[in-house]
Amino acid sequence: MSAVAGERVHAPAPGRGRPAARVAERGFLWLALVPTFFFLVSFYLYPTLFNLETSLTDLSLFGLKRGGDWVGVDNYVELFRSGDFRRVLWNTIVWLTLAGVGVRIALGLALAFLLNSATLARWRLQTVSRVLLIVPWATPPVVAIIVWRWLLDPRVGSINSALISIGVVDQPIAFLSTAGWIWPALLTIITWNTLPLVALTFLASLQSLPDELVEAARIDGASRWQLVRYVYLPHLKPAIVVMILMSTFWTFNNFVYVWLTTGAGPGLYTNVMATEVYIQAFINGRFGYSSAAGVVMAAIMTVFGLVYLRVIARRELQEERS
C-alpha cells in the first residue's frame, strides 16, 4: 500500500528528452508526492496498524503511558459473545445504514424530479428552490442537531405544538426518548442535513439528459411511468450507485449524529458502532476493547471500500475512453 510510496516513484514519463530533464522530473515526483504520502502513512496506515496491535492488549486509560498487556484475541471473543455488540451491529447496519441510505436515496430522487419539473421553471421557482435547497447542507451538523432537538422537544418544540394544534395528537410525543420514535426521529435529522447533496447530484444528472431523448420517447407514445422507467432511471443509474456507496460510508462511519442527539441512549438503545468505539475508549477507558470494535468496523468498511474502488475505477476508465 502507501508505505512503498518512496520506492516506486522513480520512473518518469518515458522519452522526455535529456537525462537532466529526467532527473528534474523525478525530483518533481518526489516533492509532489512524498508530503502527501507522509500524511497518509502517518495518519491512516500507522494508526490502523497500531489499532490492530492495541486490540490484542488490555490497554486502559490509566495504563496509557505504560502500555497494556498482551491478551491475544480475548477482546474479539468478548465482542462476539456480547449481546450488546449484536444490538450495536443491528442498529448500525439495519437502522443507520440500510434505512438511512434508503430513505435518502428515495427522497433525493423524488426531490430531484420535483426540482427538475417544467412547472417550476414556468413559475420561475427553479433558481430560488435550488439555492434554498443548499441551506440544510450548509448547516453544520452540530447546529442541525441542536435545532432539531429543540424542534422535537415535547415541552417547547414547535413540531409537537403544531401537531397538537391541528389535532393529530392530544399529548406531546417525546420523540427522542420513546422507543418507537427514536430511530425515525434520528433518521429525520440525518436526512434533513444530508439530503441536499444527494438531491443536487441527481438533479445535475437529470439536467445532463438530452431533451431530444425525452421528446423522442414522448412522440413514441411513452407514458410518464415508462419515461421514468426506461429513460430517466437508466440515465441516473451511475449517480445512484455512487450516491448509495458514498452515503453508506458517511452513515456507517458517522459518530456525531447519534452521539449528540441521543448519546447512544436511552441506555444503549441507539448505540451504533461508531459510538461504541468512542464509549469503550473514552467513557469506559477500555482502549483494547474499543480497538477490537474498531477493527471489526474497519473490516466491514474494507469490503465496501473494495466495491467502491471497483465502481470508481470502472467509471474513470469509461470516461477516458469516451
Q: Does 235 bind another protein (CB under 8 A)?
A: no
Non-local (6+) Cβ contacts of 175 within 8 A are: 152, 154, 159, 181, 182, 184, 185
Q: Cα 109 to the chain's mean position, in Å?
A: 17
Residue 30 C-beta: closest distance to another protein, Å? 10
Closer Cβ to another protein, 194 or 271, answer by number? 194
Q: Does 100 bind another protein (CB under 8 A)?
A: no
Annotate each residue in 184-223 with x if it binds another protein (CB under 8 A) or - if it does not, as one string. Answer: --------x-xxxx--xx-xxx------------------
Annotate each residue in 150-189 with x if it binds another protein (CB under 8 A) or - if it does not, as one string. Answer: -x----x-x-------------------------------
**First vs last C-alpha separation in the chain:** 30
How many residues bind to another protein according to rule CB under 8 A? 112
3-state SS, residue 60: strand
The 10 Å Cβ neighbour count of residue 126 is 16
Cell of residue 268, nine digits: 444503549
Q: Does 266 bind another protein (CB under 8 A)?
A: no
Q: Does 76 bind another protein (CB under 8 A)?
A: no
According to DSSP, the residues that pair with 57 across neighbouring strands are: 70
In whole angstroms, give the CA distance from residue 204 to residue 198.
10
* Residue among 92, 116, 160, 254 that touches another protein (CB under 8 A): 254
Q: Does 5 bind another protein (CB under 8 A)?
A: yes
Nearest to 56 by CA among 68, 39, 47: 68
* Residue among 147, 169, 233, 317 that touches another protein (CB under 8 A): 147
Q: Does 308 bind another protein (CB under 8 A)?
A: yes
Q: Does 111 bind another protein (CB under 8 A)?
A: yes
DSSP 63: G
